Structure 1
Amino acid sequence: MNIMKNNNVKAAVDIVLYLIVFVLLQVIFLNGADLMGKHYGIDSAITMAAGTALSGLITIVIFLWRRWSPYSREYIATRPWTALVWVVLLSLGTIIPSQWMIEVLDVDMPKETLELMTKLLGTPWGYLAVGVLAPVAEEMVFRGAILRRLLEVMGEGRKWFAIIISALLFGALHANGPQFIHAALIGVLLGWMYSRTNSIVPEMLFHWINNTIAFVAYNMIHQTADGKLIDIFQGNQRSVYMALGFSLCIFLPSLFQLAQRLKK
């Protein structure tokens, strides 16, 4: 009993440490970049992208160095190419339903967060931060480190409890209503994939597709970061419902296929 209690306490301490390091790096680099930008008169969009990218890069380096998110080629060695294709399709199938759900819940994004997203999505350098480094860094922290530790102490019997805890932490770290809802639900999906593979490769791919589409959509359709589906489909509600139905026709078969194909 004491050994189990000690393991639980150690896991909790580890998880708190992971979160502190992750948040602290973001605070240091974002504020540092902002101060340097103001001092040298650099465009705030560029400094914001640089700060976010550096935060993600240092997070990756630290979590690899400390082996908080262990690196392994075991999953790739199984040549799971078909499963990864279904991961791509699953990610594509979540985008419109996620946005629709946020709109139905009518949760407004805070002005500060909207400004941050606009700056990041509005510059090519923002893609390095949002589309490339963020998927790797966040999956290493929330699945490779946090969920891994939770699964170690909770075991297979309480797997879903571990997945939900990690998903809620993932949502909470996104710090606002719309992103919390989206990130928490996506976090459950990503956690489920990790629990079946013990690898963050499928999750990084999913995350990369999701963030890349957000970046491309914003730059193709200005103000998508704060836009509505009805605006994207030029006021045609029927088109919105058709897009939602089409997305579910991609999402559900992909989920079924992954339930069969994702293996450790």
Structure 2
Amino acid sequence: MKGMVRMTGIILHLILPLFTYTLTTTFLYLSVPIEPLLATGLSAALNIPVLLWIYFYDQKRRGYSPAESLKPGSGLIFIWLLGVSLCILGNSIVELMGLTRISKAYQEAANALYTPPIVIQLAASGLIIPAAEELIFRGMIFASLRDKFSFGLSAVVSAGLFGLYHGNLPQGVYAFLIGLTAAWLYERTKALLAPCMLHISANLFSLFITNLKLSDFLFQREHAVVTAAVIAAAVFVTAICFVRIYRKNNLKEDIV
């Protein structure tokens, strides 16, 4: 009976947050004449207080205080840099595989993301939406799966759902990479603010390179040498960040 109750709780954590978030977004988009990105941002802002309450309740049940649940841990600069380098690597993988050119759904999503005014892009896609998504996919889905299953399975399932949620292959591949890393960060720090900062960093840098047309410049054939150098630098920075975050949190555990 206890196992059945626990599995029911996991299923509810998998379904209810996404359903509520998606339903609110759809309602706003259909009932109010606003852009999809603004509707999603407003939905995220409306859902965050409820999601936080549920997350804090779950964390209290696990034995963590609200302060412990949100603290980012050590190595903040490396979390931000990791978000930037993963943004470069994720976009490089998607572009080099040619996924953006074969996905009509991606083109529609890109128009919805990058045509609104830059202030809306920064507030919604850069800050509010990542916070809501981390509450759902790491704070609820990954954490609930992790209560029952191994880290590897929990990370892959939560990252897979995160990728599927984006609704197209290019964004799905990119989101899966971010989701795996965010799950690892959450596992290392036990604090939601760490993957949230990673997600915000990646999104803000993605907005930066897209609005300045830097991604168009990098992935032209005549700039192949520059592209290779940027990707190599991103791989190096990613490796350094993983090592430093791992070591800093290991040291913290040793001290405690």
TM tier, shorter chain? 0.7 to 0.9
Q: Is the 8 A contact 1:143 1:200 kept in 2?
A: yes
Q: Which amino acid aligns with 1:184?
A: F
1:60 counterpart = 2:48: yes
1:171 alignment partner, SS class? helix
Q: Deviations over 1:111-167 (max 9, x none)?
A: 35423433432312122110010111110110111111111122xxx1211111111
Q: Which amino acid aligns with 1:215?
A: L
Q: Is the 8 A contact 2:139 2:192 kept in 1?
A: yes
Q: Which amino acid aligns with 2:233?
A: F
Structure 1 distance, partners of 2:147, 2:7, is: 9
Partner in structure 2 of residue 29 of structure 1: 28
2:140 alignment partner, SS class? helix
Unmatched tracts of structure 1, length 5 or more = 38-46
Partner in structure 2 of residue 238 of structure 1: 225
Q: CA deviation at 1:69?
A: 6.7
Structure 2 distance, partners of 1:176, 1:74, is: 35
Q: Is the 8 A contact 2:105 2:168 kept in 1?
A: no
Runs of 4+ in 1 over 6 A off after TM superposition: none
TM-score, L = length of structure 2:
0.84
Partner in structure 2 of residue 193 of structure 1: 185
1:10 alignment partner, SS class? helix
TM-score, L = length of structure 1:
0.82
2:222 alignment partner, SS class? coil
Partner in structure 2 of residue 120 of structure 1: 113
Q: Deviations over 1:96-122 (max 9, x none)?
A: 221221123222364354234334323
1:151 counterpart = 2:149: no
Q: CA deviation at 1:174?
A: 0.7
Does the C-alpha gap of structure 1 residues 230 and 200 become closer, same or farther in structure 2, counting only changes over 3 Å?
same
Structure 2 distance, partners of 1:180, 1:69, is: 28
Q: How many residues align?
A: 242
Q: Deviations over 1:180-233 (max 9, x none)?
A: 1111121111101111222111111111111111112222128x5xx47323xx
Structure 2 distance, partners of 1:13, 1:76, is: 23
Partner in structure 2 of residue 211 of structure 1: 203
Structure 2 distance, partners of 1:9, 1:216, is: 42
* Match runs of 1:39-188 below 5 Å: 47-67=35-55, 72-74=66-68, 80-81=73-74, 83-108=75-100, 110-122=103-115, 123-124=117-118, 125-154=120-149, 158-188=150-180
- Quote the RMSD (CA, aligned, Å): 2.4
Q: CA deviation at 1:179?
A: 0.8
Structure 1 distance, partners of 2:70, 2:103, is: 40
1:199 alignment partner, SS class? coil
Unmatched tracts of structure 2, length 5 or more = 60-64
Structure 1 distance, partners of 2:49, 2:161, is: 21
